[in-house]
Amino acid sequence: MRELFRQLEDSFKKREADRAGRRRCAGAELKFPAVKIDGTAVDADTMSRLWFFLADRGWTPVLDPGSGGPVGAAFPRENHSDVITNETGFCKLEVALAYEDNLFSLSRRLGEIKETLRIFGGREGVRFLGLGLQPVSPPGEHLMAGKSRNLFWNKVFGNNRVSLFTVSATNQAHVDVRLAEGAAAVNVFNGLSGAQIALTANSAVWRSRVDPEYLALAEAFWYWWLPGDPRVGMTARPFSDLEDYLTHICGYRPVYVVRDGRCLGIFRYRSFADYVLAGHGAAGEYEAGNTVRLTPEYADLSRHYTFCWHDARLSEYFTLENRANCQQPPGEEICVTALTLGLMENLREAEDLVRSYPWETLRELHDRALKQGPQARAGGVAVLELARRMLEIAGRGLKSRGLGYDRCSNLLQLVPSTPTRWWPGAWR
């Protein structure tokens, strides 16, 4: 384990050297429910036609390593590629935008992609929604995308509730993070997850009705899938440093590794640390059940910490991944990325804010925000007050970049004293 941690540290330092001298970059993973005109989920054949449609417009098909079939399309950019693909469900589109150092550029690219998707939707009778849930079709195994990574969930966790995520849609942001910032960034964005959820809850409509209890079902699904499991949602505690964080997540049961482009389940081990300790005697299992020997390697660790579905985590791309927010309405999709970037640019002040509250109070605010949104209170703390302070800090962080985000200093005006929808145009 020490050797793997050392390799991670070396890889982080190399990435920091590559980023030296440039502004911090940000990207976005945006999920959109894909529906027919009547609001029900699209079928798999319709989504398959999207990949050929994109190929005709210069996109490169993304093939599943197991089946070899198309599951998405990519378009090269200066930093990585824009990628459009299915996520857990084939009726949920994921648009992953390559990293940019300018939010305006990121927004323009998203606009171009949305226009392309509108053309496809007009031809096929498909709409891509700015909502956090499929509004009509309930989740189910029949909606699972035919991707290799979907093969092992039920075996690992002993239930079939992963199909919940065939209908949920989130708005996730990636921002460059340095090695020294890792633990603080994870703590800040987990600690502020309740404040974010309160402002961006947008997943209450499903099964053709408004849920009577939850405003943010997309987040609640994690707890329905793995009740009582600390690897989902807001972290149980803050972390003292990066090693503390890594040691903690290596205590979770592993899922799979990849060898020669194929997924091998390693779920027989009680923890990732146990898998590593098995050394050259470690074993993996193909989807058909046949077992092979393998040796743990650094790439396995990079993949493992993506199987810890906290509200914020470090990613294999050496970014802070902010995961707590529902998908936002049309025109507001980049706001979560802007908030994330602003807090990262003012991380020390954000860290002081989180430390000023007991962690259990922040956890209680998180849990109540799932149901009560901006009306949530815990331990005498109103979630809107925490949100105001969070936005002030993010506004100063964005303004410090000097790229024309002048309104960021006025973000506080966008949070009213009475709960309402505040978000439109916040980052511009």
**Residue 421 confidence (pLDDT):** 45
d(CA 237, CA 309): 15
Dihedral sign, Cα of residue 356, residue 180, residue 340, residue 162? negative
Identify the structural domains of the chain with CATH numbers, from first to last.
Answer: 9-244+308-414 (3.30.590.20), 253-304 (no CATH)
Residue type, position 395, single letter: G
Q: pLDDT-derived band of residue 290, with 50, 70 and 90 as boundaries?
A: confident
Q: What percent of the chain has pLDDT over 90?
A: 81
3-state secondary structure string, the chain?
Answer: CHHHHHHHHHHHHHHHHHHCCCCCCEEEEEEEEEEECCCCECCHHHHHHHHHHHHCCCCEEEECCCCCCEEEEEEECCCCEEEEEECCECCEEEEEEEEECCHHHHHHHHHHHHHHHHHHHHHHCEEECCCCECCCCCCCHHHECCCHHHCCHHHHHCCCHHHHHHCECEEEEEEECCHHHHHHHHHHHHHCHHHHHHHHCCECEECCEECCCCCEHHHHHHHHHCCCCCCEECCCCCCCCHHHHHHHHCCCCCCEEEECCEEEECCCCCCHHHHHHCHHHEEEECCCCCEEEECCCHHHHHHHCCCCEECEEECCCCEEEEEEEECCCCCCCCHHHHHHHHHHHCHHHHHHHHHCCCHHHHHHHHHHHHHHHHHCEECCEEHHHHHHHHHHHHHHHHHCCCCCCHHHHHHHHHCCCCCCCCCCCCCC
Of residues 423 and 188, more confidence is placed in: 188
**Residue 394 confidence (pLDDT):** 95
**Residue 416 confidence (pLDDT):** 46
Backbone angles phi, psi at 369, to 5 degrees: -65, -30
Q: pLDDT-derived band of residue 405, with 50, 70 and 90 as boundaries?
A: low
What are the tens digits of pLDDT across the range 121-150? 999 999 999 999 999 999 999 999 988 778
Q: Which residues contact 5 (CB under 8 A, 6 or more apart)?
A: 243, 246
The average pLDDT across 240-264 equals 92
pLDDT(428) > 70:
no
Dihedral sign, Cα of residue 422, residue 423, residue 424, residue 428? positive
Give whole-number Cα distances, 235 to 128, 186, 189, 365, 427, in Å.
31, 9, 10, 13, 28
**Residue 153 confidence (pLDDT):** 87
- The mean-pLDDT minimum among 98-112, 208-222, 398-412 falls in 398-412
CB < 8 Å & 24+ apart, contacts of 402-411? 403/102, 403/103, 403/104, 404/104, 405/103, 405/338, 408/338, 408/342
Partners of residue 103 on adjacent β-strands: none
What are the tens digits of pLDDT across the range 145-182? 988 778 788 888 888 899 999 999 999 999 999 999 99
- The mean-pLDDT minimum among 48-62, 221-235, 334-348, 395-409 falls in 395-409
Q: Is the CB of residue 369 less than 8 Å from the CB of residue 201?
A: yes
pLDDT(200) > 50:
yes
**Residue 68 confidence (pLDDT):** 80
Rg (CA), the chain: 21
**Residue 419 confidence (pLDDT):** 41
Q: pLDDT-derived band of residue 257, with 50, 70 and 90 as boundaries?
A: very high
What are the tens digits of pLDDT across the range 57-86? 999 999 887 778 889 999 998 778 999 999
Strands 170-176 and 205-206 come out as unpaired
Backbone angles phi, psi at 140, to 5 degrees: 180, 160
pLDDT(185) > 70:
yes
pLDDT(410) > 80:
no
What are the tens digits of pLDDT across the range 295-332? 999 999 989 989 999 999 999 889 999 999 999 999 99
pLDDT(413) > 70:
no
pLDDT(427) > 50:
no
Cα 115 → chain centroid = 23
**Residue 426 confidence (pLDDT):** 40
Q: What is the mean pLDDT of the chain?
A: 91
d(CA 225, CA 164): 7
What are the tens digits of pLDDT across the range 324-372? 999 999 999 999 999 999 999 999 999 999 999 999 999 999 999 999 9
Of residues 411 and 246, more confidence is placed in: 246
